[in-house]
Amino acid sequence: MNVHPTANTVSQVKTAEGQRRPRKSEAVYQDLKRMILTGQLTSDSPITEQALAQDYGCSQGTIREALMLLQEYGLVVRQGYQGTFVTDPTPLEAQLMLKLRVDIETTGIVETVKHVTPKDLEELRDLDLQFEGYRAKRDVFGCAETDRALHLRLFQVARMPALEPILLRTSMMLQRVMMPGPRSESAWTKPNVTHHSEIFDALEAGDEALAVSTLKAHILSSAILLAPQFYGTDLRRLQQEFNLPPVQVVNAAGR
């Protein structure tokens, strides 16, 4: 299972979002997504279909398709004749999105423990190797694409398909919050985060409580590393804010 985050794809591809698109709109979509997530495109000025069509040498219809996909994932908002603008999440929105992601993923991993297979773990560890490769190259966008694919694959094992689109959009919006900020060399070489491998080890051991705690620690420590302006620098405080058990199913009588 390989993730190819480059925009210059010359054939039809299936992305981490799981949808097939014509190659030109795919290339435009991927390139615009890269520029938004890395902070090269901001909310300061509108994005117009005509200007983009000239830049990419394609029709406005192709640009419109790419922009609609970006809107679907919450990265832009279209405002009629005023143009299309990159979304700019508020601190409150950033907090709510992080809470939503933690709730969905920690609930999901309880189910993942029940269903995960050695083949699933092999795929997850392969994605982690790809992630580490992009990290070694200081490839911000490559890391983001692979990390999102890894977490979506982890959640897919839980067999909760109705929530996958919500998790995908939430994860991408959180990357919009976390990625554009500056990153120190130590954040690349010695990131103070709980690593993916610790989550996989807990899954392999069949330890539900450890899987939940390591996944939560991974998400929250990453948020502090990449977006302290939104989430602060105190991991213990942030963990206390999110110190709620995963959602559990109750029967019809509410018991």
Question: What's the CA gap between 54 and 68, in Å, rounded?
Answer: 18
Question: What's the CA gap between 149 and 142, in Å, rounded?
Answer: 11
Asked whether residue 198 carries a pLDDT value surpassing 50, the answer given is yes
* pTM summary value: 0.84
Q: pLDDT tens across 58-77, in order?
A: 998 999 999 999 999 999 99
Q: Where in the chain is the domain with CATH 1.10.10.10?
A: 23-86
Question: What's the CA gap between 222 and 194, in Å, rounded?
Answer: 8
CATH superfamily of 91-241: GntR ligand-binding domain-like (1.20.120.530)
Q: pLDDT tens across 112-157, in order?
A: 999 999 999 999 999 999 999 999 999 999 999 999 999 999 999 9
Q: Where in the chain is the domain with CATH 1.20.120.530?
A: 91-241
Judged on CB neighbours under 10 Å (0-12, 13-18, 19+), 26 is buried
The yes/no answer on whether domain 23-86 falls in CATH 1.10.10.10 is yes
Question: What's the CA gap between 138 and 121, in Å, rounded?
Answer: 25
* 89 vs 4 pLDDT, higher one: 89
